[in-house]
Amino acid sequence: MIDDDSNYYYRFPDDLSDRLDFVYYHPDLDEIKEFREMNKLNRFGSVVIDDGVDYGINESGLEDGAVSFVNIQNLGDTGTIDGANLAYVKEAPVDKLLKENDILISRSRLVGKSAKVTREFEGATFGSYILRFKLKERMDYGIDFLVRYLNCNHGQKQVRMLQTGSSGKNINPNQLMDIALPQVSMERQEDMIGHVTEIEKEAGSYEKESNDMLLNAEKELLTSVGVDLPEIEDVFSYYATHAPENPTARLDFEFNNPAYDRIDELLSKKEITSLRLSDAVDFLMDSADPRLQPDESFNYVDITNINTRWGMPTPMEMKGSDATSSRMRRVMREDTILVSTTRPTRNAIALVPDELDGQICSTGLAVLRCKAGIDMRYLFHMLRTRLMRMQLKRNCSGSGYPAINQEIDLPNIRIPFPSDTNQQSAIAGRIDEILDRAKSIEDRAKKHRQRAREAFESRILEEVGFTVPS
């Protein structure tokens, strides 16, 4: 893999073609250029039907709608569509509905990520940053083989070589159809797929084990404070009428859904002690403008920089002069919790490590510091449960970009707490242990998937007789 943002090199004029962009001439791409000159190759365009390429619809996904909406975030690393956080649109043109065995490739942002359309996603539509390729019925390649090759290191190096742009990278249909495909018999393709599938089955079993541990950790956490998790459902039914008793109360649909009454009843049980979030934490509102020191570097955390699975921030290093957005102003502090107030049900909640003390995050993140008697890790784990997500969902406003008001509604979220801080710490320690084991198992799964990718690619290079230059 290459890092096209930080490596420096020299090229002399006789090495140059008509391409002027930096990445095209990166030395790490010399190998792929040599590969593309081999004889035993086809081009991706040879398997695409005439006029078989189109762009997705220019819409923003909604939480509800009649048509499933696939965006670039749904293009999984394994060449499949990830439906876990699928959005929706109200309607889509018939000619923009997906069919089984279409191939989707991201043309911008996460450039080159590819996925095949399986039967469960027939009738869905797709976003404008994605290109859809309709393939010929009779061709010399299996769909799984094609998608795996496009996503493997060799396929992705071609994407990097052919794409254009600097900060806003992009690739167009003609560039994608110029990707070189190795000539491999159908029998050998099936053999390769079978080999890597066996390795991936092991990865899948580890991933399931990790996922089950996460679910069990949440169940154990809620059970420890008397919350019966099965009483809380993620999907609430629609209702006909439910007028608020107070005529000045909120009138939006979600807030008044009577299904949420079950949460109120649950937290009102005498055996459950709960606090309003504002009684448990202080909301830190410190701000700073990095532009005042334009040449100084700082670390920035946006909502998209939070790993929603593990609650860890992955900051971007920026210059003060780059902080042009008015949202790049909130100051983070060590030993605090970041909570996304935009799309809060995505679980973008993270602990701030010591090294990010005094750095900048988006104003779309609330910065919470625990008051005396509140264990920070206990609160962190509790905020990431389904019980909390349902309360956040109820108090959101907006549709395309639902958000919760961090001055009015977020402080009123109710958190179940043991009154003894030592008990909170003991519970948090137990959950930490489970999550550490789950993370270790997930890392094992990643190693297996990496081994599968390497095995697939090595077999391709062996098949076409290509030796990677030393």
Tens of pLDDT, residue by residue, the chain (470 residues): 444 445 555 555 555 566 666 677 777 788 888 888 888 889 999 999 999 999 999 988 776 789 999 998 899 877 899 887 788 899 999 999 999 999 999 998 789 999 999 999 999 999 999 999 999 999 999 999 999 999 988 899 999 889 887 656 899 999 999 999 999 999 999 999 999 999 999 999 999 999 999 999 999 999 999 888 655 454 445 555 555 566 556 767 777 777 788 888 888 888 888 999 999 999 999 999 999 999 999 999 998 889 999 999 999 999 999 999 999 999 999 999 999 998 898 899 999 999 999 999 999 999 999 999 999 999 999 999 999 999 998 888 865 568 899 999 999 999 999 989 999 999 999 999 999 999 999 999 999 998 998 899 889 888 888 776 65
Which two tokens mark 187?
Answer: 């029998």
Q: What does the DSSP 8-state code read for residue 351?
A: E
State the Cα–Cα distance between residues 465 and 353, nearest whole angstrom.
49
Predicted TM-score (pTM) of the model is 0.75
Q: Which of 334, 335, 350 is nearest to 384 (CA)?
A: 350
pLDDT computed for residue 2 by the predictor: 44
State the Cα–Cα distance between residues 40 and 436, nearest whole angstrom.
47
Which two tokens mark 265?
Answer: 């009843």
pLDDT computed for residue 306 by the predictor: 92
pLDDT computed for residue 139 by the predictor: 93
- By DSSP bridging, strand 360-362 and strand 297-301 are parallel
Q: What does the DSSP 8-state code read for residue 357?
A: T
State the Cα–Cα distance between residues 111 and 162, nearest whole angstrom.
11
State the Cα–Cα distance between residues 163 and 380, nearest whole angstrom.
41
State the Cα–Cα distance between residues 160 and 24, nearest whole angstrom.
7
State the Cα–Cα distance between residues 241 and 234, nearest whole angstrom.
21
pLDDT computed for residue 246 by the predictor: 62
Q: Are 340 and 306 within 8 A, CB to CB?
A: yes
pLDDT computed for residue 451 by the predictor: 92
Q: Which of 101, 156, 96, 151 is nearest to 127 (CA)?
A: 96
